[in-house]
Amino acid sequence: MFNKVQLERFFVGSVMLAFVSLVLSIVGIKSQLFQNIQYLLLFISSVIVLLIGIQSKSINFFSNRLQKQILGWLISAICSAAIWAFAQKGIQSIFPAIMGYRKAWNTLEPFALYATVVFIMFALMLIIIGARDTKIDRPGYIERFLVYNLSSKIAAMPMIFTSIGIFIIATLWTIYHSFTNSRMLPKSDFIGLGQYERLWSSDRWYMSIENLAIYGVCSLIFSLFIGFMLAALLDQKTRFENTFRTIFLYPFALSFIVTGLVWQWILNPDYGVEKIIRSLGFDSFVFNPLYNADIVIYGILAAGLWQGTGFIMCLMLAGLRGVDQEIWKATRIDGIPMWKTYIQVVIPMMRPVFVTTLVIIAAGIIKVYDLVVAQTSGGPGISSEVPAKYVYDYMFSAQNLGQGFAASTMMLVSVLIVLIPFAYLEFGRRKYD
């Protein structure tokens, strides 16, 4: 009627089901639903045990795998049952000493309920999935999941926790709450797209977007251009290459705060560049980017470029070194001038480097925050606001969480617009490494 492995699954499943119903009846569940399930489970497990009893000759109850499975499931059953029992009143009357802890463990009750549900689901899955593998007679998915390569899975727990628990769940949480009317504290009071309407009708947000667009486009173009030029200059078998590279790259080791403060000082109209040029005789010279609302973002751009271009140069230099050196000999023999070789041969060959660099710059631009805070604090007025600062201010200063969530969701959307085509181009065609 059944083959050996199927019966094994049934046996394990029925042991577990019987155990669950036993626990449920001992603990005594008040809910109507659970009382019915309890009888159902008891019935099913007794049928299965009966079935196995009829065919018991064909099962080796002491096979290694079966023992392992039963042991594992018993342990998990006992654990979840213990947690459950701890939170229940019935067991407290048997052991009065537990009563005192009851209050502290009140919070565990939902968890215990959850654990039991998961446990029952697992029991069902083991029967269903386990049975699927009977044709080739190998352990089911769950057993493979729990036993094979276990230490690797344990070691990767932080990564799994971070990728699922933080990156996915936290992102979804924020997106979910961006549709609510949260103010001081997050709450589930849905107002639809209200926060987004407010966001897109706010001058400050428009200013932030505009600034980010100017900063982004300019820093993309300039840092790619300057970075590539510097890398090309350093790639001419230049002497003192290391010295020059060290000089170009050192700002990258500094924080945006330090960068912002230095440039704030250099661009200071009372003491900085403006004063020096004026003292040379040009009395009407005006150069005060940080105090002029129209051009303040370019003052920030100057600092940003000073900090980041060295890094782009390094990436480009690595890319240039990756280009086959024979190319140079070939083009020299053909008498092609150097600049033409760069434009027509080398740059097309470096396409992957350019794409990666582009994504890195783009991902960095959207995060611009520290630089603005240090250099201008968003001033004068709101003329140098950026989205990241908008989010921070609404979340932590203005106590308007909903706005912050909506703005950060918009930031995510803009990143995805850049990232998804890139991911498609890079990883869509070939399998990820």
Partner 1 sequence: MTNSQNNSSVVDPRGPKPRKIMSRRNIILYGTLLVVAIYYLIPLYVMIVTSLKGMPEIRLGNIFSPPVEVTFEPWIKAWAQACTGLNCDGLSRGFWNSVKITIPSVFVSIAIASINGYALANWRFKGANLFFTILIFGAFIPYQIMIYPLVILLRDLGIYTKLPGLILIHSIFGMPILTLLFRNYFTTIPEELFKAARVDGAKFWGIYFRVMMPMSLPIFVVAIIMQVTGIWNDFLFGVIYTKPDTYPMTVQLNNIVNSVQGVKEYNVNMAATLLTGLVPLTVYFVSGKLFVKGITAGAVKG
Question: Contacts with partner 1 in 116-155 (CB under 8 A)?
Answer: 148-149, 151-153, 155
DSSP assigned state of 15: H
Q: List, in sequence order, the alpha helices (H) in 97-202.
A: 99-102, 108-132, 141-147, 150-155, 157-160, 169-177, 194-200
Judged by CB under 8 A, the residue of 50, 160, 217, 327 near partner 1 is: 160
Bridge partners for 219 per DSSP: none
> Is-contact 259 251, C-beta < 8 A?
yes
Show contacts with partner 1 in window 365-394 (CB under 8 A). Answer: 366-367, 369-370, 373-374, 377, 387-388, 391-392
**Residue among 213, 193, 191 nearest 201 (CA):** 193
Judged by CB under 8 A, the residue of 356, 358, 383, 393 near partner 1 is: 356
- Which part of the chain contacts partner 1 (CB under 8 A), choosing from 27-35, 79-87, 131-139, 160-168? 160-168
> Is-contact 20 123, C-beta < 8 A?
yes
Q: How far is the CB of 111 from partner 1 (least distance, A)?
A: 14
- Rounded Cα distance between 139 and 136, Å, is 9
Show contacts with partner 1 in window 300-319 (CB under 8 A). Answer: 306, 310-311, 314-315, 318-319
Nearer to partner 1, 12 or 232 (CB): 232
**Residue among 68, 69, 13, 77 nearest 45 (CA):** 13
213 is a site residue for partner 1 (CB under 8 A): no
407 is a site residue for partner 1 (CB under 8 A): yes
Cα separation of the two ends of the chain? 47
Q: For residue 393, how many other CB atoms are within 10 A of its CB?
A: 17
> Which residues lie closer than 8 Å to 291 by C-beta, 6 or more apart?
269, 380
Nearer to partner 1, 18 or 415 (CB): 415
Nearer to partner 1, 115 or 410 (CB): 410
263 is a site residue for partner 1 (CB under 8 A): yes
- Which part of the chain contacts partner 1 (CB under 8 A), choosing from 24-32, 69-77, 126-134, 167-175? 167-175
> Is-contact 23 85, C-beta < 8 A?
yes
Nearer to partner 1, 1 or 104 (CB): 104
Nearer to partner 1, 98 or 249 (CB): 249
> Is-contact 227 313, C-beta < 8 A?
yes
**Residue among 161, 86, 76, 59 nearest 120 (CA):** 76
Q: How far is the CB of 430 from partner 1 (least distance, A)?
A: 13
DSSP string over 174-206:
HHHHTTB--SSS----B-TTHHHHHHHT-HHHH
CA 356 to chain centroid, in Å, comes to 19
Q: How far is the CB of 209 from partner 1 (least distance, A)?
A: 14
95 is a site residue for partner 1 (CB under 8 A): no
205 is a site residue for partner 1 (CB under 8 A): no
- Which part of the chain contacts partner 1 (CB under 8 A), choosing from 83-91, 193-201, 341-349, 363-371? 363-371
Please give the structure tokens belonging to residue 116: 């039991």
Q: How far is the CB of 283 from partner 1 (least distance, A)?
A: 15
- Rounded Cα distance between 386 and 393, Å, is 11
Judged by CB under 8 A, the residue of 37, 108, 129, 249 near partner 1 is: 249
Count of chain residues binding partner 1 (CB under 8 A): 98
199 is a site residue for partner 1 (CB under 8 A): no
Nearer to partner 1, 28 or 158 (CB): 158
Nearer to partner 1, 18 or 359 (CB): 359
- Rounded Cα distance between 231 and 317, Å, is 5
Nearer to partner 1, 99 or 423 (CB): 423
Nearer to partner 1, 17 or 410 (CB): 410
Show contacts with partner 1 in window 4-33 (CB under 8 A). Answer: none
Judged by CB under 8 A, the residue of 113, 269, 272, 323 near partner 1 is: 272
Q: What is the radius of gyration, based on Cα positions, of the chain?
A: 33
Q: How far is the CB of 353 from partner 1 (least distance, A)?
A: 7
Q: List, in sequence order, the alpha helices (H) in 323-366.
A: 326-333, 338-341, 347-349, 351-366
Q: List, in sequence order, the alpha helices (H) in 192-295.
A: 194-200, 203-234, 241-253, 256-266, 273-279
Nearer to partner 1, 98 or 412 (CB): 412
